[in-house]
Amino acid sequence: MTEYTADWYPDPGGVHELRYHDGTKWTEHVSNHGRQSVAPLADAGAVPTTGMSAEKIQQQVAAKAGVQPGAAPGGGTMFTEPVLVVNQKAKLLEMNTEYAVYDQNGTQIGAIRQVGQSTLKKVARFVSSLDQFMTHTLQLVDTNGAVQLSVTRPAKFAKSKVHVSDAAGNQIGSIVQKNMIGKIRFSLEGMNGEIGSLNGENWRAWNFNLQDAAGNEVARITKTWEGLAKTMFTSADNYVLQIHRPLEEPMRSLVVASAVSVDLALKQDSRGLG
């Protein structure tokens, strides 16, 4: 059981960005993008799922991402599996972004849910492109809804920066967009500086390789399905994150977070990437 000191933490209900714990219990005090309010604690937020069959997940991994069957098994979590399959939940009207996370065999091991969406932001998302200029936060959760990581993209005008925080809400690093023209590149930055990079392999930013500070490839993101009439990386897409070897922190968390941070960073980018 997690021990809490009095402080702000990711909302365990999956509705707001942060909720205050007084050291004994969760309180009604919540915060979304720096603005505090009060709201009762909801039950643990629903864990998104796509209902996709194990056979389709396995096909996605092998046929489209090129990961051969029999890859080394992991420990059953987002931090211990060598292959993560991240599939966005397709909706007719997307007011909150949601993804399911599977292992290479098609077993769901987690999910990603958007939190802190006000009514105004939901309306803006539906009727305009202003959504790209607003702050967005996603929580990576296990199958019980417990927060594992949070990623926040502050309001942007051009290039994006995504901040990554641990389960307790402590920032552990950032994923920073370096350019807007040509093949998109991000730096992976710990709290003491750059520790790697995330590199687009074509101008539409469909596939990425992740490298350590020495330039060695440590992981790869492959877009695997666009959906009907979808042509951009950020339109209800599915993709596979293949991690080549065990990684130390904060590199491991930044690599896991990158599986959704590219989508978040480029969402509704004027370059047409989503």
Tens-binned pLDDT, residue by residue, of the chain (274 aa): 567 899 999 888 878 888 999 999 999 999 988 899 999 887 556 688 888 889 989 988 998 888 876 666 789 999 999 999 999 887 544 457 889 999 999 999 999 988 876 555 544 444 445 555 678 899 999 998 889 999 999 877 678 899 999 988 899 999 999 998 889 999 999 999 999 999 999 876 679 999 999 999 999 999 886 554 444 444 456 889 999 999 999 999 999 999 888 878 776 444 333 3
151, with CB counted inside 10 A (0-12, 13-18, 19+), is buried
Spatial separation of the C-alpha atoms in residues 107 and 54, rounded to whole Å: 7
40 SS3 class: coil
Q: Is residue 273 part of a domain?
A: no
The predicted model scores a pTM of 0.80
For residues 90 and 215, membership in a common domain is answered with yes
For residues 65 and 182, membership in a common domain is answered with yes
For residues 28 and 133, membership in a common domain is answered with no
Give the number of domains in the chain.
2
Q: Is residue 272 part of a domain?
A: no
For residues 21 and 66, membership in a common domain is answered with no
Q: Is residue 209 part of a domain?
A: yes
For residues 110 and 17, membership in a common domain is answered with no
* Beta bridge partners of residue 194, listed in sequence order: 189
Q: Is residue 43 part of a domain?
A: no
Spatial separation of the C-alpha atoms in residues 200 and 207, rounded to whole Å: 6
CB 167 within 8 A of CB 149: yes
* Residue 255 structural domain: 54-266
Q: Is residue 83 part of a domain?
A: yes
For residues 122 and 251, membership in a common domain is answered with yes
CB 210 within 8 A of CB 217: yes
Q: What is the strand order of the sheet 7-10 is part of?
A: 7-10, 18-21, 26-32, 35-38
Q: Is residue 49 part of a domain?
A: no
For residues 117 and 24, membership in a common domain is answered with no
Q: Is residue 172 part of a domain?
A: yes
For residues 180 and 68, membership in a common domain is answered with yes
Q: Is residue 47 part of a domain?
A: no
- What's the full length of the chain, in residues? 274
3 SS3 class: coil
For residues 218 and 112, membership in a common domain is answered with yes
Spatial separation of the C-alpha atoms in residues 99 and 111, rounded to whole Å: 6
